[in-house]
Structure 1
């Protein structure tokens, strides 16, 4: 599998292949927002973070997409003490997913029958995994929630798995207390999204040119010994 590069925000843009990577980034983010709306319309349980978002909008005058954006921007503020560096994909993630969610919700109604709702739930999970693989594969920065996870991992020394599990349990509990949409879809999402995304990711990682990139983003050709 092509490895994911660990680049700063400037280096991400200077790493090349932007005509391929930028459309892939925005396609993945837009599809992610569609997947959020599809699961919500299935009404059999939202993803862990969307349990929080659906609970939040019961108490504040926001649409679901606006709540996604607001939460993403709030999480970016938490990156400051964690010393995480946002990239283009980070900021786009915080905004595009919310816009796509609201557009899709406006176009898609909740079906009454159970079978179509099960189809929306399953389709939403699969689409979310695909969308995640697509936008991560563009290599233009982590999303606000992923950055919070990796930042806490670095600062606390706890494993990624433990930090992610603790975060998702926390947001689900808070979301439930706020009246969010918890259900079988929430559990199925939590159990399957990681393995499905991992299986799809190798197909979408954009290979970056083989050159060393300094911390300030300046490109340097690889030395003969590094080839």
Structure 2
């Protein structure tokens, strides 16, 4: 019989350690982890641009941002920032720890996405749009696993995913899929734009992230005390 899990007791999920910001920086292999973090964030931003240029639907969180923006006199970017701050507040009861990666996520991803939108253009044939969408989704999952695996603090929305996984019996795959589906549904009800790519992203990003995450988690030895 499996013993009950104390919700107050942190546990490791797929090798991810619960660490304070200082512990994250003192856990070893810092150069390797910083490089992996940077590459992961750049690739994540580029994957967002690829999905947008595919023209088959917005990423789930962007569906939500757009839906909210249609009801309030604020810009899309401002809504994105406000939502990120609200998600960070949800970290408090989950006891999720921010870090260098949390801050870098808000800066590097946006810059990389802007660069990607300048580089990529929307293809004309539908088959190329589909291939572009699939490539963007796979790259998004891979890059998500890269920067989370660096163990320097997840992005605001990823921290919600890993925090819920730490506090429940559910897998990262199940948690991520549930969050994406809920966000798409809420965004659509608010007037957000949903397409085939949005549905495909929401249903596959969780399993793909869980597939890529184990080999990309950098093994660390967090200090016993902060």
Interval containing the TM-score (normalised by the shorter chain) = 0.7 to 0.9
Alpha-carbon distance change, 151 to 9 in structure 1, aligned in 2, over 3 angstroms:
same
CA contact (8 A) 2:177 2:202 kept: no
Alpha-carbon distance change, 74 to 102 in structure 1, aligned in 2, over 3 angstroms:
farther
For 1:99 and 1:63, locate their aligned partners in 2 and report how far apart those are by CA, in whole Å.
16
- Structure 2, unpaired ranges of 5+: 1-13
For 1:143 and 1:69, locate their aligned partners in 2 and report how far apart those are by CA, in whole Å.
12
User: What is the TM-score when the length of structure 1 is the normalising length?
Assistant: 0.77
Q: Does 1:8 align with 2:41?
A: no
CA contact (8 A) 1:45 1:185 kept: yes
CA contact (8 A) 2:65 2:76 kept: no
For 1:108 and 1:212, locate their aligned partners in 2 and report how far apart those are by CA, in whole Å.
40
Pairwise mapping of residues 135-214 of structure 1 onto structure 2 (< 5 A)?
135-151=147-163, 159=170, 164-208=176-220, 211=221, 213-214=223-224
SS where residue 110 of structure 1 aligns?
coil
CA contact (8 A) 1:36 1:124 kept: yes
For 1:154 and 1:81, locate their aligned partners in 2 and report how far apart those are by CA, in whole Å.
12
CA RMSD of aligned residues (A): 2.8
Give the CA deviation at 1:67.
Answer: 5.0
- Structure 1, unpaired ranges of 5+: 217-227
Give the CA deviation at 1:125.
Answer: 0.7
For 1:185 and 1:71, locate their aligned partners in 2 and report how far apart those are by CA, in whole Å.
22
Q: Does 1:129 align with 2:141?
A: yes
- Tell me which residue corresponds to 2:60: 48
Give the CA deviation at 1:69.
Answer: 4.3
Alpha-carbon distance change, 57 to 28 in structure 1, aligned in 2, over 3 angstroms:
farther
- Structure 1, residues 144-168: CA drift from partner, whole Å, max 9, x if none? 113224545677x674676545533
Q: How many residues align?
A: 211
For 2:117 and 2:68, locate their aligned partners in 1 and report how far apart those are by CA, in whole Å.
17
Alpha-carbon distance change, 151 to 198 in structure 1, aligned in 2, over 3 angstroms:
closer
Give the CA deviation at 1:5.
Answer: 2.4
CA contact (8 A) 1:52 1:172 kept: yes
Alpha-carbon distance change, 69 to 10 in structure 1, aligned in 2, over 3 angstroms:
same
User: What is the TM-score when the length of structure 2 is the normalising length?
Assistant: 0.77
For 2:175 and 2:25, locate their aligned partners in 1 and report how far apart those are by CA, in whole Å.
29
For 1:178 and 1:17, locate their aligned partners in 2 and report how far apart those are by CA, in whole Å.
44
CA contact (8 A) 1:69 1:98 kept: no
